[in-house]
Chain A
Amino acid sequence: MKPLKIAMLSLTHGHTRKYFQTLKDNPKLQWLAACADSEEIKQHFNSVNPDVPCYLDEQEMLDRHPDIEAVIIASANNEHLRQTQFCVERGLHILSMKIPTFDMDEYDQMIDMVDRAGLVCQIELEMHYNPVVHRIKKLIADGELGCILSMQATNITLSPVWAFPWQGVPEQSYGSRIPLREGDGRFRGGALCDHPHIFDLARWLTGTGFDYLYADVAPNLRTELEVEDMLLVNGKMKDGSSFLLDPSWSRLEERLKIPGPGWEVFPKRMEVNLIISGEKGVLMADCFGPNVYHNGAPNDRYTVQYTYFDEWIGLIDEFVDCVRNNKQPKINLKWHRQTIEAMNACYDSISSNAPVKIN
């Protein structure tokens, strides 16, 4: 198979650096170029990827590399519509970060333009390529748990806002400045916007959609933020199973500008854990465990050192396969739409203090 010629845009998303190794190593790819959002980001990129040309202008990048076939849009959420349009007009396939947009009109525009152009647009939800999730899916499919009664899931992390400031700016993260609720000084755009995975898993693992959601926010751990950092989500799926989701930034962090060792204040920086109760039993899972531990450099603090899995490899493999063989990725814009709708419903529920139905 001919390697797919690929580029990255913006480089401001928290997941940007997770692609670097895969883009270099995967023989199905040829990483031609990148385009940075600022000179500062370009300099950092050049320091870790000296062999990949980096530009500050998207059009210049394409002019210099007209054979680019696909791009990874690694930018702030409010850039996604414009960049999707930019790519579609140039016939470029798209691997988009996890939130295409929270504006459902914009979302439908994106579906329409990608469909019309006949391009692949895959959404980056890496949990679909996680081996623990594969095992969970198989155990459920094999009937080990029977019908699912309930699912509890965490997608809790430290806050990335100090390294990726746009994630704390309502207009850039949520797309507009909307108060969480009357009398609350915070706005939509925080931890919830960072954590779609467990909403997606609830749909994928149960094989059904959301019926209704109820969400509430707790006092922020980081009082400086104008977006929410602590919230919980309750509700039921269409099959009657109940759920409780925690998509909070509940793990405190050192306020590093560039993520790296010593980021954690709490020993464990991230967790996606599931408890699924079924008619025949209960499953408990840590999607990123087990790990190793140290209390060494840089802060001599007890730290959970992740033994990362290979989600990014599977994700890229699928993307290349879809482009080359004209297939639709599992996580395409249409599939992902209800997840975004459910996340919006959480904000509406916080605002109204009432459950919100999903149609």
Chain B
Amino acid sequence: METTHARQDLNEMLESLLHKYGVTPSQKWQLLLELRKAGDGLALLSGQLLMDTDLADSYVPLMPWRNERRFTELKQIVETQTIEHVSTLRLCCLTDSQSSTIEQLLYREFDLCEWLAGSTITGVFASITEGRAANVLARLANGMLCGIELGVALPAGSTVIDRHELIARRGVASDRVVDTQMPQSSIYTFTANGQAEYTDTDAELFGLSGEEITIVRAAYDTLADPAWAEQCRKQHSRLVAMAKLAIESDNKQQWLTVKEEQS
């Protein structure tokens, strides 16, 4: 994960949020930006970093993308039936190979698929090339179909390019502008220092990058609602299993069903 702030800063910001809203965690905690041995209490970090690790009780795998404003709105659009009878989800995420692996992208997009659809994936068919590009079809228990396009072939240091589109009998919802291919920013500057783009989405955590904001918010949610940590652990196990299932599907060239213990 790329960060612009030290881990200590983020922990302090999380602490101040907890204080502001009167949340008193029942045990010690620490927000981590990379996988390392947990100290006393809870270690809160992105589930993507825990994919290859046996999940000790002290770790809480977070799904920080759920705290992105755009995904919160998309989910709300579905839940409030602003769009009705969703048929198909079209998800895409392209990164460089330094910031993510294909397995980590599968983890994130499978979670977004289930969370936005309000259902669980029942089976997958995947085609993966050299661990650098993956195309997946996923079928959901509620009948929806999801296409997932993933790649880690962008040049090092590239901004993530993604798209999340929900196509329904009544309406289409997407985090991309119609007739565009690239994500938009809130501010574009053209100055003597060159071109720059800014997208600020959180005044309380102003100054943090988008990824930093979501990890702090996800950690806050978990500390504010301890029951949520257990949900995160369960979902983490499912997502890790489904990412492995996708790779197995590619190896076997077969449609594979998500087993009951995974769902």
Contacts and interface: CB of A to CB of B under 8 A. Distances in A.
Contacts of B112: none
Interface string B106-146: 00000000000000000001111110111111010001110
A216 B145 contact: yes
A240 B253 CA distance: 12
Contacts of A290: 179
Interface string A233-273: 01110001111101010110000000000000011100001
B213 interface: no
A250 B135 contact: no
Contacts of A291: 179
Nearest to B94: A282
B182 A284 contact: yes
Nearest to A213: B127
Contacts of B155: 281
Contacts of A231: 145
B255 interface: yes
B37 interface: no
Contacts of A275: 92, 94, 149, 151
Contacts of B132: 149-150, 277, 279
Interface string B78-109: 00000001011010101000000000000000
A304 interface: yes
Contact of B125 (A230, A234, A266, A304): A234
A230 B127 CA distance: 20
Interface in A103-133: none
B137 A214 contact: yes
A286 interface: yes
Interface in A304-359: 304, 353-355
Contact of B153 (A279, A304, A353): A279
A220 interface: yes
A242 B169 contact: no
Contact of A277 (B85, B88, B133): B133
A141 interface: no
A188 B158 CA distance: 42
Which one of B90, B172, B179 has the greatest number of beta carbons of chain A within 10 Å? B179
A9 B254 CA distance: 44
B23 interface: no
Which one of B153, B161, B181, B255 has the greatest number of beta carbons of chain A within 10 Å? B153
A1 interface: no
Contacts of B258: none
Interface in A205-221: 212, 214, 216-221
A222 to B, nearest CB: 8
A171 B147 CA distance: 29
B151 A149 contact: yes
A250 B88 contact: yes
Contacts of A236: 127, 129
Contacts of B33: none
Interface string B238-263: 00000000000000011100000000
B153 A282 contact: yes
Contact of A149 (B129, B145, B167, B182): B129
Given A219-B143, A250-B88, A282 B255 contact: no
A219 B87 contact: yes
A243 B255 CA distance: 16
A16 interface: no
Nearest to A248: B88
B87 A244 contact: no
B196 interface: no
A138 to B, nearest CB: 19
B154 interface: yes
B254 A355 contact: yes
Contacts of B35: none
B87 A218 contact: yes
B183 to A, nearest CB: 12
5 contacts: A149-B151, A150-B151, A244-B148, A289-B181, A354-B254
Interface of A: 149-150, 152, 212, 214, 216-223, 230-232, 234-236, 240-244, 246, 248, 250-251, 266-268, 273, 275, 277-279, 281-282, 284-286, 289-291, 293, 302, 304, 353-355
Interface of B: 85, 87-88, 90, 92, 94, 125-130, 132-137, 139, 143-145, 147-149, 151, 153-155, 161, 167-169, 172, 178-179, 181-182, 253-255
